[in-house]
Structure 1
Amino acid sequence: MSIAGEVGWKTIKIKGTHQESVSEVIATEFPLTLMLDGYEFATIVCSPGELEDLVVGFLASEGVIRTVAEIKDIQVDLYTGFAHIALHKSVQPDQFDHSSRLIGSCCGKSRQFYFKNDARVAKTITSRLEVTVHQCMQLMKKLMDSSPEFKRTGGVHNASLATSTEVLLTRSDIGRHNALDKIFGAMLRDKISAKEKLVVFSGRISSEVLLKTSKMGIGIILSKSAVTDLAVKLADELGITVIGFVRDDRMNIYTRPDRVHGIHPHLQTDL
């Protein structure tokens, strides 16, 4: 098994009338099984990088832990594909209704979603962070420029934690949910406060992505992609500013435009 984030694969490339055989760089898909206090809790299909961040962020997002101090030990074995997690206070996986489930890397229905678990940890956001239209566009450019994996493979999603002017950290993964969990895990492990922070994201903002943003305590999320109706309805309820299709000199503001400077006053009341 390859444990690199990307591999070379002999490929026939065709462009117009030109054809050639090349070694194409492609993203690695890696199954990681989480063993929680000896129980098989979940298998996450992911990119094999920053896996401790992923484990911590996933457990926090699922409501298993609230702080990294609740974890006694994490041992990630890349060669067997297992992460062994010991908690200070043991839990039974059936508390979370999804023992031994598969968390797919795709953006469809393979990633199950349990709203009753989310209700325990999702929260209304009261962030006072504000950004300008120009800052949103600059942050998206910085996100895309900071991902060599995407430039080489085109096969990963990216997420960054940022202030209004600066990208603080970036994580990449074949799964957009995993990229966010890695950011969440890094915040918990490094004790990075969500105050005055936002998320810059490459993937579609679904209801699950929106709820993860809420659990992280983040009040603004920017994406270069689309949003779903449930995501914006939840954002409206939870007080989160959602901005999509941030590309070049354009973007769509779906909720809480009061946090964005540079909008014509008569448009502020339209949402």
Structure 2
Amino acid sequence: MTASPPSLPPVYPEPDDPRLTREVSGVDQTGAATSTSVVHERALTLYLNAQEIVTMMTIGDHPDLLAVGFLLNQNMLRADDEITAIDIDEDLEVVVVRTKRATNYEDKLKKRVRTSGCAQGTAFGDLMENFDAARLDGSARIRTSWLYSLLAQVNTAPSLYLKAGAIHGCVLARQDDILAYIEDVGRHNAVDKIAGWMHLRGVEAADKIFYTTGRLTSEMILKCVAMGVPILVSRSGFTAYGVDLARKAGLTLIGRARGQRFVVLSGPERVVFDAPLRAAK
């Protein structure tokens, strides 16, 4: 893969897209009539060539990115595979990824693992496949000034989360420049969309920072390592197995990141403390 083109346009949430939310009426805590925006949740069935792989619940945007990222993170699509077409049928709620290489994952599909994702994530086969062979860039760094800037940008950017809630977001950044900010009902979907975006656009992972609103579970660490991103940040907390995996892979793991507060439980050598802390009020 080549380095990220300087002119690569960033991808941001589109909270005003009418396909993603709808207004629902109800009553508030006083009994008064009110209405609120709620996100859509749709089934999307993914095929790899002629084989049905999985049906996912998603908000419905970027089905091509979700499909490619899911297949990459499940080791069903290789980095050097030639994708000949991505066919999307919105009426049938189907996406088909076609490759030059013939594929058959019948045996792998028999081994299914329910992940801890809040929208019932599913993983197939050996979750540790290729994990031990992964190598993350040891020279990557995250300055605390970049981290604070990223957190502020994510918190204030227009998003489905601010409009309707019930959503997770993931961000890929270079220093404190957001390259992609993508949302979905499950954090695993949002991660997969970022993975698909990187692959289809030839974006190098070695110098990138990944931010998620979700918990830092084993699934998050495995996917981040598979993508080759060396630094993972979340506003949420950790699981013990997730921390163990991050330390084994040499992944910098930063959690509970809010304002100027955070905790690093793996890879602190990549953190450069260059920003002065504001006095506590």
TM above 0.5, yes or no, is: yes
Query: Does the CA-based 8 Å contact 1:128-1:259 persist in structure 2?
Result: yes
Q: What amino acid maps onto 1:27 in structure 2?
A: V
Q: What is the rounded CA distance, in whole Å, between the counterparts of 2:76 and 2:128 in structure 1?
A: 11
Query: 96, 105, 130: which one pairs with 1:84?
Result: 96
**TM-score of the superposed pair, with normalisation by structure 1:** 0.87
Q: What amino acid maps onto 1:160 in structure 2?
A: V
Displacement of 1:63 in angstroms is: 0.4
Residue 132 of structure 1 pairs with residue 147 of structure 2: no
Q: What is the rounded CA distance, in whole Å, between the counterparts of 1:48 and 1:68 in structure 2?
A: 27
Displacement of 1:7 in angstroms is: 1.3
Partner of 2:72: 60
Q: Name the SS of the counterpart of 1:162 in structure 2.
A: strand
Q: What's the C-alpha RMSD, in Å, of the aligned pairs?
A: 2.4
Q: What amino acid maps onto 1:86 in structure 2?
A: R
Map Cα deviations across residues 205-229 of structure 1 (whole Å, 9 max, x no partner): 1100111000110000110001111
1:1-271 mapped onto 2 (5 Å cutoff): 4-14=19-29, 18-67=30-79, 69-98=81-110, 106-107=117-118, 110-114=120-124, 116-120=126-130, 123-262=134-273
Map Cα deviations across residues 68-119 of structure 1 (whole Å, 9 max, x no partner): 75222111112211112222112112142348x79899527x3244562541
| Count of aligned pairs | 257
Q: What is the rounded CA distance, in whole Å, between the counterparts of 2:125 and 2:76 in structure 1?
A: 14
* Residue ranges of structure 2 left out of the alignment (5+ in a row): 1-17, 275-281
Q: Compared with structure 1, are the counterparts of its residues 66 and 127 closer, same or farther at alpha carbon in structure 2 (3 Å cutoff)?
A: farther
Q: Compared with structure 1, are the counterparts of its residues 68 and 175 closer, same or farther at alpha carbon in structure 2 (3 Å cutoff)?
A: farther
Map Cα deviations across residues 169-205 of structure 1 (whole Å, 9 max, x no partner): 1111011001010001000011111121110111111
Percent identity (aligned): 25
Q: What is the rounded CA distance, in whole Å, between the counterparts of 2:144 and 2:116 in structure 1?
A: 32
Map Cα deviations across residues 38-79 of structure 1 (whole Å, 9 max, x no partner): 221101111111111111100100101123752221111122
Query: Does the CA-based 8 Å contact 2:74-2:123 persist in structure 1?
Result: no
Q: Compared with structure 1, are the counterparts of its residues 245 and 48 closer, same or farther at alpha carbon in structure 2 (3 Å cutoff)?
A: same
Which one has the bigger helix percentage? Answer: 1
Partner of 1:268: none
Q: What amino acid maps onto 2:235 in structure 1?
A: K
Displacement of 1:124 in angstroms is: 3.0
Q: What is the rounded CA distance, in whole Å, between the counterparts of 1:83 and 1:98 in structure 2?
A: 21
Q: What is the rounded CA distance, in whole Å, between the counterparts of 1:85 and 1:206 in structure 2?
A: 28
Partner of 1:266: none
Query: Does the CA-based 8 Å contact 2:115-2:123 persist in structure 1?
Result: no
Q: Compared with structure 1, are the counterparts of its residues 104 and 126 closer, same or farther at alpha carbon in structure 2 (3 Å cutoff)?
A: closer
Q: What amino acid maps onto 2:126 in structure 1?
A: K
Q: What amino acid maps onto 1:241 in structure 2?
A: T
Q: What is the rounded CA distance, in whole Å, between the counterparts of 1:104 and 1:49 in structure 2?
A: 22
Q: Name the SS of the counterpart of 1:65 in structure 2.
A: coil
Query: Does the CA-based 8 Å contact 1:131-1:260 persist in structure 2?
Result: yes
Deviates more, 1:79-88 or 1:120-129: 120-129
Q: What is the rounded CA distance, in whole Å, between the counterparts of 1:12 and 1:105 in structure 2?
A: 33
Deviates more, 1:20-29 or 1:120-129: 120-129
Displacement of 1:247 in angstroms is: 0.6
Q: What amino acid maps onto 2:23 in structure 1?
A: G
Q: What amino acid maps onto 1:212 in structure 2?
A: K
